[in-house]
Amino acid sequence: MKNDFIKCKDNIFDLAKFTYVQNKDGIVRLSTRGYQRKVLTLMQLPPICGNKTNMILKQPRQSGSTAEVLLFLMHKFLFEPNCVIALVSTSTERAGDLIAKLTLSLKNLPQEWFDEGLNIKYAKHEIRNKSNHARIVATSYRTVGDIKCLTVNYLFLDDFAFATKSVQQEVCKSFFPTMMTMAANSKSSNSKIIISSATNGKDNEFYYLCVQAMGAKSSFLLVEIPWWDVYNFNVKEMKKRAEQIGARAWMREYGLFFDDYDD
């Protein structure tokens, strides 16, 4: 089992084999699909085009974007000493849910790893790795000021398009300059901002960041996963969801269109 732990340090896909999540069938081993493996591969690459150290994931609802990001961050938490990981979401409850998902996966790692020295402590909105002094904290956009004092290495902005515009601007102002400077000055590139969201119109920072990411000067790599990669061109299922939430909401949350429509 010690050799398995060492292999996982070198390969995040080996860690996936030991990662358990909860779904409608109960607690099951994480199964990654092709587009998820693509995203995880891109997350681990050194800066692309010279400066693209950060990532924007533009994915449909219920496409597993959270599972992708949490696996990447769990890998950092386990194997990168002293790193600080911040999870920020739309509510305190949602932030707690992210911590709960990580807690479940960590507690279901092989017991032999813990017998050999892995030591993890859990709290409601924080997890600490006593073995390497790594730390994960979670908060909401409304209380994001609580973590401004931290030197964050990895920042996950969950459902960023659905935070208020003023909060989005405050997050960008408070964290982006420091983290981007850290990434530029670090030979190990141990700094990354990951933004994951469906779309929510054009009048917000998520839209502006996506547009800027199309240019070479942006530090963000824009990765868009179309709904047909997730749902295998299941038009019947997509039609059902459009009927449930309305065409406009479907266009944003599954079609990933930024267009604003008149009432």
Q: Which domain covers residue 80, as residue numbers?
A: 34-253
pLDDT value, residue 48: 67
Residue 101: half-sphere exposure toward Cβ, Cα within 13 Å = 22
Least confident of 22-36, 155-169, 178-192, 231-245: 178-192
Return the percentage of the chain with pLDDT > 70, whole number.
94
Q: Which residue has the higher pLDDT, 75 or 179?
A: 75
Q: Kindly calculate the radius of gyration of the chain based on its CA atoms and give it in whole angstroms.
A: 18
**C-alpha of 64 from chain center:** 10
195 within domain boundaries: yes
263 within domain boundaries: no
86 within domain boundaries: yes
3-state DSSP helix/strand/coil % of the chain, to nearest 5: 45, 20, 35
18 within domain boundaries: no
Q: How many domains does the chain have?
A: 1
CATH of the domain at 86: 3.40.50.300
Closest to 193 in 3D by CA, of 168, 164, 227: 168
* pLDDT tens-digit series, residues 118-130: 999 999 899 999 9
What type of residue sits at position 235? V
Mean of the per-residue pLDDT values for the chain?
A: 90
**Model confidence at 57, in pLDDT bands (50, 70, 90)?**
very high
* pLDDT tens-digit series, residues 156-172: 999 999 999 999 999 99
**Model confidence at 191, in pLDDT bands (50, 70, 90)?**
confident
pLDDT value, residue 135: 97
Using CB atoms within 10 Å of the CB of residue 111, give its burial: 0 to 12 exposed, 13 to 18 middle, 19+ buried: exposed
* pLDDT tens-digit series, residues 5-21: 989 998 999 999 999 99
Q: Is residue 50's pLDDT more than 80?
A: no
Q: Which residue has the higher pLDDT, 78 or 259?
A: 78
pLDDT value, residue 47: 73
**Model confidence at 24, in pLDDT bands (50, 70, 90)?**
confident
The pTM of the full predicted model, rounded to 2 decimals, is 0.91
83 within domain boundaries: yes
29 within domain boundaries: no
228 within domain boundaries: yes
pLDDT value, residue 262: 46
What type of residue sits at position 202? K
Residue 48 DSSP symbol? B
108 within domain boundaries: yes
In sequence order, the β-bridge partners of residue 157 are: 88, 195
Q: Is residue 2's pLDDT more than 70?
A: no
Q: Is residue 49's pLDDT more than 70?
A: no
